[in-house]
């Protein structure tokens, strides 16, 4: 049987690397990672996949359309799983240009590269080709105290990040409707787990708490997110790419709603249990000025994915968080250089105008 070949854009980042590892180590696929290797990418994230000889890294910017066209034509993948994106909301507030360029122009370049390649395929190869565009639940905006995001929920993005992802979602759907490119779209809730870059909430709190630093919580900590363990997400993405209906959207969520304050407190309690300190780490919590345009609640209904494709999350928030905390305790050699040279825990997202 021929081994499946997959291109994963953004495959040295957090979710992309989890997907690359899953495809190589669990599905015996061949994976070509395309990654610009920005601050949030790390080759160590895919070291275990590369060690098999079935994962290769190509360092390139997805915005370079001719390069993408050449790579796709040369590699001849059965699937392109497009995850490359600028993804941190706070950074999008202080520097939106990169988000528009990577998330919108980069997605356009990937769609065109895929279309050029797909147009030259014939027979079963053409019928089997898939392009999965991976997106976020933030495109839907903010929920009230009740209800869930469905695949049919109208888009209402609040931040430069979510607006850029909404635009890229629309491009992907348009390339399916206009050109027939075999596109599927996924929108996920907040991911967490191993190899998560330490600017995001859960790894930031883990590392700050270990170092005895203050734990900043935006506003009153009541903002709610639905948390999804990254390895559960990786399984879902492979399934959607392979079995999802063309032109459709699939929401991926963990059914694990927690307030930000509950998340921070749970991390504190888990660390107190594993690495007791002189005082409870909850005493490090500090409430800070809220993020501009901070959506209050996200929650995903993953019924379509569960019913139509048979996916189920294997981790709940308690088991997933325990694994995540333990991973950071056991892998200081991964995050220590990042804290020293790339991001030391300072606040991001201050909304100062960018220069042209």
Tell me the pLDDT tens digit for each residue of 94-132: 999 999 999 999 999 999 999 999 999 999 999 999 999
Residue 9, token pair as written in the block: 């854009």
Q: Does 64 map to a domain?
A: yes
Q: How far apart are CA 84 and CA 107, in angstroms?
A: 8
Instruction: Answer yes or no: is 221 within a domain.
Output: no
The 3-state DSSP composition of the chain as helix, strand, coil percent (nearest 5) reads 45, 15, 35
Query: Residue 17's pLDDT band (boundaries 50, 70, 90)?
Result: very high
pTM equals: 0.94
Rounded Cα distance between 172 and 184, Å, is: 8
- Range of the structural domain that residue 73 is part of: 5-191+227-255+301-310
Contact yes or no for 85/62 (Cβ under 8 A): no
Identified catalytic residue from 61, 137, 169, 199: 137
Q: pLDDT for 134-163, tens place per residue?
A: 999 999 999 988 899 999 999 999 999 999
Choosing from 161, 195, 218, 328, the catalytic residue is 161
Residue 336 lies in a domain: no
Candidate list 30, 138, 232, 295, residue with the active-site label? 138
| Average pLDDT in the chain | 94
Query: Tens digit of pLDDT for each residue in 303-353?
Result: 999 999 999 999 999 999 999 999 999 999 999 999 888 755 565 545 455
pLDDT tens, residue by residue, 192-222: 999 999 888 999 999 999 999 999 999 999 9
Is 266 a member of any domain?
Answer: no
Residue 43 included in any domain:
yes
- Beta strands in the chain, from DSSP E residues, in sequence order: 5-9, 30-35, 55-59, 79-82, 130-136, 183-188, 190-192, 215-218, 224-229, 249-252, 257-259, 285-288
Q: What is the pLDDT of residue 292?
A: 82
124 within domain boundaries = yes
Domain membership of residue 260 (yes or no) is: no
Give the whole-number percent of the chain exceeding pLDDT 70.
96
User: For the chain, how many structural domains are there in total?
Assistant: 1
pLDDT, one tens digit per residue, over 264-311 is: 999 999 999 999 988 999 999 999 988 787 888 999 999 999 999 999
Verify whether residue 151 is a known catalytic residue: no
Q: Both tokens of residue 294?
A: 């901070």
Q: Which residue has the higher pLDDT, 355 or 241?
A: 241
272 is catalytic: no
Query: Residue 177: which CATH number?
Result: 3.40.50.720
In a domain, 165, yes or no: yes
**Which residue in 213, 227, 206 sits closest to 330, CA to CA?**
206
Report residue 302 CA to chain centroid gap.
Answer: 17
Reply yes or no on whether 98 is catalytic. no
């Amino acid at each position: 049987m021929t081994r499946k070949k997959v291109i994963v854009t953004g495959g040295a980042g957090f979710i992309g690397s989890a997907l690359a590892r899953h495809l190589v180590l669990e599905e015996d696929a061949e994976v070509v990672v395309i990654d610009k290797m920005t601050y949030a990418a790390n080759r160590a994230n895919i070291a275990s996949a590369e060690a098999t000889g079935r994962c290769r890294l190509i360092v390139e910017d997805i915005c370079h359309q001719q390069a993408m066209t050449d790579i796709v034509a040369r590699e001849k993948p059965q699937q392109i799983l497009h995850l490359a994106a600028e993804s941190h909301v706070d950074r999008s507030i202080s520097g939106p240009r990169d988000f528009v360029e990577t998330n919108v122009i980069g997605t356009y370049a990937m769609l065109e590269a895929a279309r050029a390649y797909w147009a030259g395929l014939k027979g079963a190869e053409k019928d089997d080709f898939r392009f999965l565009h991976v997106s976020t639940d933030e495109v839907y905006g903010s929920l009230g105290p009740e209800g869930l995001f469905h695949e049919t929920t109208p888009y209402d993005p609040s931040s430069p990040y979510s607006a850029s992802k909404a635009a890229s979602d629309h491009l992907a759907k348009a390339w399916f409707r206009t050109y027939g490119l075999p596109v599927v779209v996924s929108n996920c809730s907040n991911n967490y787990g191993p190899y998560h870059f330490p600017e995001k909430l859960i790894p930031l709190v883990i590392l700050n708490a270990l170092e005895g630093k203050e734990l900043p919580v935006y506003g009153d900590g009541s903002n709610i997110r639905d948390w999804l363990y990254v390895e559960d997400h990786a399984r879902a993405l492979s399934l959607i790419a392979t079995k999802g209906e063309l032109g459709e959207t699939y929401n991926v969520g963990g059914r694990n709603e927690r307030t930000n304050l509950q998340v921070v407190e749970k991390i504190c309690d888990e660390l107190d249990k594993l690495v007791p300190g002189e005082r409870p780490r909850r005493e490090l919590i500090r409430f800070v000025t809220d993020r501009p345009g901070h959506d209050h609640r996200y929650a995903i209904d993953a019924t379509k994915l569960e019913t139509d494709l048979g996916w189920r999350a294997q981790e709940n928030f308690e088991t997933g968080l325990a694994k995540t905390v333990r991973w950071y305790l056991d892998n200081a050699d991964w995050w220590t250089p990042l804290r020293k040279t790339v991001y030391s825990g300072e606040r991001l997202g201050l909304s100062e105008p960018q220069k042209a």
